[in-house]
Structure formats: structure tokens, C-alpha cells
Amino acid sequence: MPEINNFSYIDEGKGFPLVLVHGFLGNAEMWRPQIDEFKKYFRVIAPDLPGYGKNNKYKLINSIEGFASEIFNFLQNLKIEKFNLLGHSMGGMIVQQMSVNFSSHINKLICYSTGSIGEMPNRFETIDESRKKIKTNGLEITSLNIAKTWFVNGENDPNFYLCKNASSETTLDAADASLVAMKSWNGKNNLYKINNKTLIIWGDLDKSYDKNQIDILHSNIKNSELKIVNGFAHNVHLENPKIFNKLLLDFLI
């Protein structure tokens, strides 16, 4: 993986940039089925978020706004002024914030399996409970138990290993800082500021974000369309890359 200012990322393909932002307990390699497909059409750039993947020794960030600024500054260092932007889960919060702060730099926006608030009323457990479990039970056990809920078939999904690999590179401090970031973030009142053409993707068996959270995005982002993938959970892009990639390609081209 290349580095710029000691910041690690994947950079494959040529053409108009497509930036992929992973979520909580993830890393850039969790986009591998998308990178391999979309590098045929785009220059695909997938950074490891600070504290994750090969950036697990990078400075910690504990706010969604901080993550948004860090990714934007990273792209500026690459001399990338205009790009398509996709974010998953916590990464979806980051790209919403980027669209609010840096709208003119974003061509098209994809909000995938995400919501407009971090501390959701119907979350499987409170964020404080998640923080306690990580510290009590350890990051490895807790992260794998969380990742199992992201797939309909749990750890038996063929691509579950990508989540396992990603969680093994994440530090406990980074996971805790990210939970703090999500708890303190509420982007609902800023959704009207998102002017970019936006695609919202959601699996109807997602246990992390319910339909109400998706409807809030769709009804408040004025130039948005919603695609629901039936029969899949939080990680549609890994559960069924073929369906996910086609939705994305139809939107981008």
C-alpha cells in the first residue's frame, strides 16, 4: 500500500477518482470486491481510517468532523480536487459530513448502510455498553461478535475473513475513540445542506441501521434515490458484491 505523509491507502486503476471510506472496525481491504471491479472504470482510492488497518499507529480521532477533515486533507495532498465518494456505516457518517463541509469537491455521493445520527434509539445496544464490552471482554472477541451481525450467515459468509483481518489490525484505543465519535455526532439537521446527487443503499436485514434511519436520509437529502437490497444485511458489498457493484455502477456511469 502506498503512503503519503505516513498515511496508508489503496490506489488502483485510472480515471475519475472514486473514494471508498470504510466503517467501524474495518479497513481499506474490506472494499476488495469493489476495488477489483471499479478499477476498470475509475481511479479507486481507499484509505485506512486513522487507527485502523495500516494506519493503526496514526493519530487517533474521536469526532466524525475530525475524520471528515482528515480524509479531505489526505485527498488534497494527493492533488485530487473532484471525486465520487462512498461511505459505509460509520464511513457513511464521515462522507455525509464531508458533503456538508466540502460539497463542491464531491461529484456523486453514496451513503451505504448508514444513518444521520450515531447514537440511534433502536441500536442493538447503547454505545456506552459497546465501549464497556470492548474494554471488559477485549477487542478481538467483541469485534468478531459485532461483525457476525453484519452478515445473514454470520461468520460462515465467504467474505467474513475480511472483517476478521480488519479487526485484528484495529487498536482498542481507536475503536473506543470511534465509538466516542459516533456517540457525539448528529448530522440530521444538516442533511438539507447535502446538494450532491446521492445514492442510498441498504440491505433490508441490516441489524445496525433500521428502515427509519434510511428513510430519514432519503426524505431529507433532496437529490437522493434509495435502493433496497432484499435478503441481505449490513455488509451487502461483501455478501453479494455482484448486486452491490451493479447498483453502484448504474449510479456512477
Tens-place pLDDT, residues 60-71: 999 999 999 999
Residue 195: CB partners within 8 Å, gap ≥ 6?
A: 99, 103, 222, 223
Say yes or no to pLDDT of 6 above 90: no
Q: What pLDDT shows up at residue 155?
A: 96
The pTM of this model reads 0.96
Average pLDDT over residues 136-144: 90
Q: Compute the mean pLDDT over every residue in the chain, rounded to the nearest whole number.
A: 95
Say yes or no to pLDDT of 2 above 90: no
Q: What pLDDT shows up at residue 124?
A: 72
Q: What pLDDT shows up at residue 114?
A: 97
Considering the segment(s) 3-252 as one domain, its CATH architecture is 3-Layer(aba) Sandwich (3.40)
| Percent of the chain's residues with pLDDT above 70 | 100
**How wide is the angle at C-alpha 243 spanned by C-alphas 239 and 247, nearest 5°?**
125
Strands 106-112 and 83-88, sheet pairing: parallel
